Structure 1
Amino acid sequence: MRNKITLLVFVFISSINMMQSQKLEETKADKEYNKFAYVEAIKTYERIIEKGYVSQEMLQKLGDSYYFKGDLVNAEKWYAKLFGFTKDDAPEYYFRYAQTLKAIKDYKKADEMLAKFNERNGNDLRAKLAVSQKDYLAQIKKNSGRFTIENAGDVNSKYSDYGSAFYKDKIVFASARDTSRFKGGKNSWTGEGYTNLYDANVDAAGELVTPERFGGNLNSKFHESTPVFTKDLKTVYFTRNNFLGGKKGEDSKKSILLKLYKATLKDDKWIDIQDLPFNSNEYSVAHPALSADDKTLYFASDMPGTLGQSDLFKVAINDNGSYGKPINLGNVINTEGRETFPMITPSGELYFASDGHPGLGGLDVFMSKLESDGSFKEVQNVGEPLNSSYDDFGFLINESSRIGYVTSNREGGRGGDDIYNFKEIRKLECEQKISGIITDKETKIPLADVKVTLSDANFNMLRETRTDKDGKFDFGQVKCNSKYYIKTDKEEYLTMETPVITAEESGQTFVKIEIEKAVKAVTIGDDLFKAFNIKEIYFDLNKWDIRRDAEIELAKILDVLEQNPTLEMEIRAHTDSRQTFKYNQVLSDKRAKSTMDWLVSQGINKNRLKAKGYGEKELVNKCADGVQCTEEEHQANRRSEFLVIKM
């Protein structure tokens, strides 16, 4: 009995010791997790779980460790176990699980998780985007197929290589390949060495070759990455851990965050390294991009005012070298997720990586166009194959050649992150051009030197040009799916305004415009009614006096008579077959004479005019007495003619 009690006490004490040991290991893992030491945290959490100790919080942190490390496939494995363990998770985990499901291309289940995310957190912009863009996969498919892409070659190592920039005829990038200078220097987040800056030559195929260290003292024993250079190549902005002058800086949690630095080139050496004034020990500022005029700096940060985990900001670079106040790019660009790695082209195409906008999984590359008022247009996913179900970021493009580079940790790479070179074969943004030809309406001959004006839907003038010798004009690029007005002006021709709506797809809108002379050449036998496209002259029922709307049309005939003082004309009035033959004859005769009297009242000599009613004598169709006809067919017989009888 005593031995049994002793054994039970031993087992109890052993269980307590084991529980205390597991608790100590979990506490250690939590500390590693909180310090972003995800590699060590993963090892510890998995070791504890293998021994049968599991909790909701532990599964969350293990999934998060893989998620923030960028290993979405393994993150999905642990998030799946988390959702099998409990359904009572914070809304954010529905979003993260959806992202990892996309990594294994289970888009149906990912969309289900996003729907549940929206149910629990409908005020989140990512949730709103998930609801408003339910057809995002179809839109991505529409945007896909615009790139050829391949691994950039031997420049990629078995470690992470990422974040490229143009410099002279080279590419500058970050790599964790060589840590020999700083023994033991490893990044607890990734388990690799800290990254330094390298440059590489670009061969004829676009591959990067012969990588070498870049920048001398720009590299430190901590991270350096994502440089960008001014146009004169004398100033560089780059990302580095909080480290300057041989000293590291930490936030209140003892973490070393990221800052932006600036250096100046003098005698082939980078000097005067200084951190930018809007940096802080308490938040990260990273991944700079410059506008074409070097006056605006774009970057990613989680500074106060950030909508999500990281947002894109811009700041003015003043002529005296000082900086304005950082401005958040707003919720067209930023979400509650991660927006990072900006790059802007000379024409204002802002490319960036995001996991907050609907994508294929992980970080995807998106594009938004900078408008003239400083705002950004709708965000678009650039599509496959540039984007994948893994992390895709660090987009860089030469706007002229449409050749560039992007970083990805997709399958088939050589290391954690690899650099890929690409060629864009079709632009994402819808591009329409308006051009056309102007001809004489009667002769169909192209007209040269016609003044052509383009206006927007509100009649604000946009551009003005003249037709060439072949009657052609070209307004160049305009917006897709938009309404415009084209106005034509030429001496001796009527001024016209033609509405045009451009297509929704990229292409060219070609407009054929016919314009007619203000004063037409007429000959004996011409019917002025047809020659000048005069609308039907209507009379009230059983009446023959000239109505106001008829006066407007008769004014065109009056103008012809005034412009041609020797012209003589016969006015003929016709009716349909309804009513009696005699009645129609009398009515048409009165209407013809009423028309002549109106012209005489406007100053035309009566001797130049004849008026005669023809009643139903000259029907133009089958609609005689007793024949059933439509109203339109009867209308064709109720007509007026203005025949030239002498010039």
Structure 2
Amino acid sequence: MRTSKFLACLAFLLSSVVAVGQSRLAEEADDAFKKGFYYNAIELYKKAYTVEKKASTKAELIFKVGEAYRALGDPAQCEVWYEKANRAQYPDPVTYLYIGDALKEQGKYAEAIAAYNKYKEKKPNDMRADAGISACEVAQQWVDDPSRYRVDPEVLLNTPNYDFSPAFSDKRNEDVVFTSTRSGATGTNTDQILGESFSDLFASSRDRLGKWSEPVKLPPSVNTESNEGSPIFDSKRRVMYFTRCPVAKKEVHGCDIWMSKKVGTNYAEPVMLALKPDQAKGDTSVITVGHPAVGPDDDYLVFASNMKGAGARGGKDLWMVQLDKEGMPLGKPVNLGNEINTPKDEMFPFVRHDGSLYFASNGHAGMGGMDIFKADATGERQWAGVENMKSPVNSSMDDFGIIFDGEE
């Protein structure tokens, strides 16, 4: 009898420990997700799922894995996990909407329309399904009748890692600086958001035959153990602006725009631009400021930020600030307004020689993920007439970080 009671007591204690472990894993996963550490959140949700016994909680954890993959921008895994959530009888039919979005981002437009229609059956008053169906129909038309552009990969610059946001760093457009998470990036830690190395800025030069040299890292004055990316140069190619996102274990700190002046073939110690509200007073909020673009006359800067303020639409908006002769901000940033910004994300701006604005958005009607859009200059530092660049510049996946070689 004593043995039976002991075993029963032991079993109770063990089950309590397991329950506490399950709860702690799920709480840690939720905390990681809230902080934007999606890669970590996915691993924790999966661990919590494997030890969870309650069917409804398991279904919720499956759904949350899908949510983390959606935030991470992995549509194939989104589709897998939202389908799993349906099979686990997750009660919210929003899974069908998100499956439609995931299929659209993979270019599976007919299948996406079928998923949106399933969602419409369950939520007939939600207009997001109709918007998704319309976007799929238009995207298929653009694929069938592409624009005059041709898209070719730069195989000498690309790796299996993330390589993006190039900028010409010389007047002849033969030298380029770009962002990469490739092997050899500064630091040994793993980005808790992407599960990759932290990004650095790399440089490469093009010879007379158009062949790019082996990319090399920019010096330690620019690259740190933080994420550096999205460079842009002024018209004289003497000043570089870029984004830096500091590293802090289990903490989130917003990104900032930094400026570094060329000194011969090297770069001076960067200076941070005070663009966030109350930044001069030592604000340590998680406001993100990044993706700089310089006007043709070097007198203003367009950038992306999630900061609040007059005209902010939600998500990340495009903002503009005037620059002084030293390339530093003058006055407060101004939101570019409803013609450009949506309740979702507008990022990665680029201003051409004629003042036209190019940017990436997942809020304007597009082909899947983020698409590249063009807005014509309608006055001094004003833009309108947002136009999708269509296929093949855009695809069902995320497209961003456009620049132009010359004025054609």
TM-score > 0.5 by shorter chain: yes
Q: How does 1:560-639 map to 2 (within 5 A)?
A: none
Give the structure 2 partner of residue 285 of structure 1.
289
Contact map agreement 1:227 1:236 (CA 8 A) in 2: yes
Which digits, 9 at most, give the CA deviation of each residue in 1:126-150, with x for residues without a partner?
7896698685336634772432222
Give the structure 2 partner of residue 586 of structure 1.
none
**How many aligned positions are there?**
388
Give the structure 1 partner of residue 260 of structure 2.
263
Structure number with greater Rg is: 1
Which residue identity is paired with 1:64?
E
Q: How does 1:474-623 map to 2 (within 5 A)?
A: none
Alpha-carbon offset, residue 337 of structure 1:
1.5
Which residue identity is paired with 2:161?
Y
Give me the whole-angstrom Cα distance separating, in 2, the residues matched to 1:147 and 1:366: 14
Give me the whole-angstrom Cα distance separating, in 1, the residues matched to 2:299 and 2:118: 43
Q: Percent sequence identity over matched residues?
A: 28
Which residue identity is paired with 1:313?
W
1:77 equivalenced with 2:83 (yes/no): no
Contact map agreement 2:149 2:392 (CA 8 A) in 1: yes
Are the structure 2 counterparts of residues 349 and 110 from structure 1 closer, same or farther at C-alpha, using a change threshold of 3 Å?
farther
Which residue identity is paired with 1:163?
S
Q: How does 1:6-405 map to 2 (within 5 A)?
A: 7-53=7-53, 54-55=57-58, 57-83=60-86, 85-88=89-92, 96-104=98-106, 105=108, 106-109=111-114, 111-112=116-117, 136-137=138-139, 140-141=142-143, 144-168=146-170, 169-179=174-184, 181-182=186-187, 184-203=188-207, 206=210, 208-242=212-246, 254-279=251-276, 280=279, 281-282=284-285, 283-305=287-309, 306-319=312-325, 321-372=328-379, 374-401=381-408
Which digits, 9 at most, give the CA deviation of each residue in 1:460-490, with x for residues without a partner?
xxxxxxxxxxxxxxxxxxxxxxxxxxxxxxx
TM-score (norm 1): 0.54
Which digits, 9 at most, give the CA deviation of each residue in 1:199-230, with x for residues without a partner?
11235675533211225511111111111111
SS in 1 for 2:291: strand
SS in 1 for 2:384: coil
Contact map agreement 2:371 2:388 (CA 8 A) in 1: yes
Contact map agreement 1:153 1:209 (CA 8 A) in 2: no
Contact map agreement 1:153 1:208 (CA 8 A) in 2: no
Give me the whole-angstrom Cα distance separating, in 1, the residues matched to 2:213 and 2:356: 28
Give me the whole-angstrom Cα distance separating, in 2, the residues matched to 1:193 and 1:257: 18
Give me the whole-angstrom Cα distance separating, in 1, the residues matched to 2:206 and 2:123: 46
Give me the whole-angstrom Cα distance separating, in 2, the residues matched to 1:141 and 1:160: 25
Which digits, 9 at most, give the CA deviation of each residue in 1:44-63, with x for residues without a partner?
21233234544455334312
Which digits, 9 at most, give the CA deviation of each residue in 1:29-77, with x for residues without a partner?
2233233222222122123323454445533431222122221210222
RMSD: 3.3
Give me the whole-angstrom Cα distance separating, in 2, the residues matched to 1:349 and 1:116: 42
Contact map agreement 1:152 1:206 (CA 8 A) in 2: no
TM-score (norm 2): 0.83
Contact map agreement 2:186 2:198 (CA 8 A) in 1: no
Are the structure 2 counterparts of residues 52 and 208 from structure 1 closer, same or farther at C-alpha, using a change threshold of 3 Å?
farther
Alpha-carbon offset, residue 113 of structure 1:
7.4
Are the structure 2 counterparts of residues 373 and 228 from structure 1 closer, same or farther at C-alpha, using a change threshold of 3 Å?
closer
SS in 2 for 1:398: coil
Are the structure 2 counterparts of residues 160 and 180 from structure 1 closer, same or farther at C-alpha, using a change threshold of 3 Å?
closer
Which residue identity is paired with 2:388?
N
Q: How does 1:406-445 map to 2 (within 5 A)?
A: none
SS in 2 for 1:41: helix
SS in 1 for 2:347: strand
Alpha-carbon offset, residue 342 of structure 1:
0.9
Are the structure 2 counterparts of residues 177 and 134 from structure 1 closer, same or farther at C-alpha, using a change threshold of 3 Å?
closer
Which residue identity is paired with 1:62?
V
Contact map agreement 1:117 1:127 (CA 8 A) in 2: no
Which residue identity is paired with 1:264?
K
Alpha-carbon offset, residue 2 of structure 1:
6.3
Note the residue ranges of structure 1 that are not aligned, 5 or more in a row. Answer: 243-247, 402-647
Are the structure 2 counterparts of residues 181 and 198 from structure 1 closer, same or farther at C-alpha, using a change threshold of 3 Å?
closer
SS in 1 for 2:152: strand
Note the residue ranges of structure 2 that are not aligned, 5 or more in a row. Answer: none
Contact map agreement 1:140 1:381 (CA 8 A) in 2: no
Contact map agreement 1:97 1:113 (CA 8 A) in 2: no
Give me the whole-angstrom Cα distance separating, in 2, the residues matched to 1:263 and 1:368: 29
SS in 1 for 2:348: strand
Give me the whole-angstrom Cα distance separating, in 2, the residues matched to 1:95 and 1:317: 43
Greater RCO (CA < 8 Å, at least 6 residues apart): 2
Give me the whole-angstrom Cα distance separating, in 1, the residues matched to 2:343 and 2:145: 24
Which digits, 9 at most, give the CA deviation of each residue in 1:587-636, with x for residues without a partner?
xxxxxxxxxxxxxxxxxxxxxxxxxxxxxxxxxxxxxxxxxxxxxxxxxx
Contact map agreement 1:143 1:383 (CA 8 A) in 2: no
SS in 2 for 1:379: strand
Give the structure 2 partner of residue 414 of structure 1.
none
Flag the structure with higher strand content.
Answer: 1
Are the structure 2 counterparts of residues 374 and 35 from structure 1 closer, same or farther at C-alpha, using a change threshold of 3 Å?
closer
